[in-house]
C-alpha cells in the first residue's frame, strides 16, 4: 500500500510524543516533524534517528523570533546535521509586526545558509507575507540545490502561480480545502507540486486534534476537489515526495 505523507507536523508538541512517533512507524506515515526553535533539535533528532518514516526539520519559527531570534547562530551551527528545515519564514500578522525587521534578517540568514550548503528541503511559513517571502526566495535561495515548500499556503492564486513558476511546492492541509477560494487556488497549483500535511496539533477533525495518520482525510478531500480517485492522489503525493528527495540527493 502506498504510504501517506504528512509534510508538516509538530510531533514534539503532542503530550504523547514518543507514542505518536511509534504510531507513524506502525502505519507507515512519512512525516516531517518541524521544530520551532533550534533548542528543540537535539531531542527530536535523537528520537527520529531510530525511525524509518520520520525526518526532523531544523526550525526557527517567525512568531518566536522576537524572543528567540538570537538563536539563529545556533541554528546555523546545527544546519549541517540535517537536510530538512522548518518551520521558518515570515509572519506579517499585526501581532508580529514589531518583529518583522528581525524576522527578515533571520530568514535571510536561513536562506543564505541553505544556499551555501545545498540539498535542503524547507517548510516555509508565510502569513500575510507571500510576496515578501517570494522576493526573498528569489534573491537568496539557490533553487537548483534546495526545495522550498509552502506550508498552509494562504496567498492568492496569482501568488501561487508565481511560486510554482519559481519551483516552490505546497503542502496542503484539510483546512485549506473548505474555503470559498479552494478551487481557484488548486487550479493554480500544478499536481506535481502538491504534498499533504496536518499541521497537527494545530488542526482538528470533528473536534479531535489531528495526528499524522489523519492526513488521509486531507487526501480524500483533495481527491474530491480535483476530481480524481483518492488512491491515485495518495500515489501522486508519495511520488512527489520521492521526486523532491531524489532532487535533493542529486544536488549534494
Give every CB contact of residue 130 below 8 A, 6+ residues apart in sequence.
150, 153, 154, 155, 156, 159, 163
How is the beta sheet containing 29-34 ordered, strand by strand?
4-9, 29-34, 54-57
Cα dihedral 164, 166, 168, 174 in deg (nearest 10): -20
Degrees to nearest 5, angle at CA 74 with 69 and 75? 75
178 is in an annotated binding site: no
Grid cell, residue 49, equals 534517528
87 is in an annotated binding site: yes
Residue length of the chain: 252
Nearest Cα to 249, choosing from 151, 99, 146, 140? 146
Q: How does DSSP classify residue 207?
A: T
* Distance in angstroms (rounded) separating the CA atoms of residues 189 and 192: 8
Grid cell, residue 218, equals 486531507
10 is in an annotated binding site: yes
125 is in an annotated binding site: yes
* Start-to-end Cα distance in the chain: 30
199 is in an annotated binding site: yes
Q: How does DSSP classify residue 90?
A: E
Q: Please state the residue numbers annotated as binding site.
A: 8, 10, 87, 125, 151, 199
Q: Please state the residue numbers annotated as binding site for a divalent metal cation.
A: 8, 10, 87, 125, 151, 199
Amino acid at each position: 500500500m502506498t504510504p501517506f505523507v504528512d509534510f508538516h507536523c509538530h510531533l514534539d508538541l503532542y503530550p504523547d510524543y514518543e507514542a505518536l512517533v511509534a504510531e507513524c512507524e506502525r502505519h507507515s506515515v512519512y512525516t516531517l516533524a518541524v521544530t520551532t526553535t533550534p533548542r528543540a533539535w537535539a531531542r527530536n533528532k535523537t528520537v527520529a534517528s531510530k525511525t524509518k518514516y520520520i525526518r526532523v526539520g531544523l526550525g526557527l519559527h517567525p512568531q518566536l523570533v522576537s524572543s528567540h531570534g538570537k538563536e539563529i547562530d545556533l541554528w546555523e551551527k546545527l544546519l549541517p546535521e540535517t537536510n530538512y528545515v522548518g518551520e521558518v519564514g515570515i509572519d506579517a500578522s499585526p501581532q508580529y509586526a514589531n518583529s518583522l525587521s528581525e524576522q527578515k534578517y533571520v530568514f535571510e540568514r536561513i536562506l543564505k545558509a541553505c544556499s551555501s550548503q545545498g540539498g535542503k528541503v524547507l517548510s516555509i511559513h508565510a502569513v500575510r507575507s507571500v510576496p515578501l517571502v517570494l522576493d526573498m526566495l528569489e534573491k537568496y535561495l539557490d533553487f537548483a540545490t534546495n526545495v522550498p515548500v509552502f506550508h498552509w499556503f494562504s496567498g492568492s492564486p496569482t501568488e501561487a502561480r508565481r511560486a510554482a513558476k519559481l519551483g516552490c511546492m505546497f503542502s496542503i492541509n484539510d483546512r485549506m480545502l473548505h474555503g470559498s477560494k479552494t478551487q481557484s487556488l488548486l487550479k493554480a497549483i500544478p499536481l506535481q507540486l502538491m504534498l499533504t500535511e496536518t499541521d497537527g496539533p494545530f488542526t482538528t477533525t470533528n473536534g479531535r486534534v489531528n495526528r499524522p495518520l489523519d492526513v488521509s482525510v486531507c487526501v480524500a478531500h483533495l481527491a474530491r476537489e480535483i476530481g480524481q480517485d483518492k488512491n491515485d492522489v495518495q500515489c501522486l503525493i508519495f511520488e512527489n515526495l520521492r521526486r523532491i528527495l531524489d532532487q535533493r540527493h542529486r544536488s549534494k
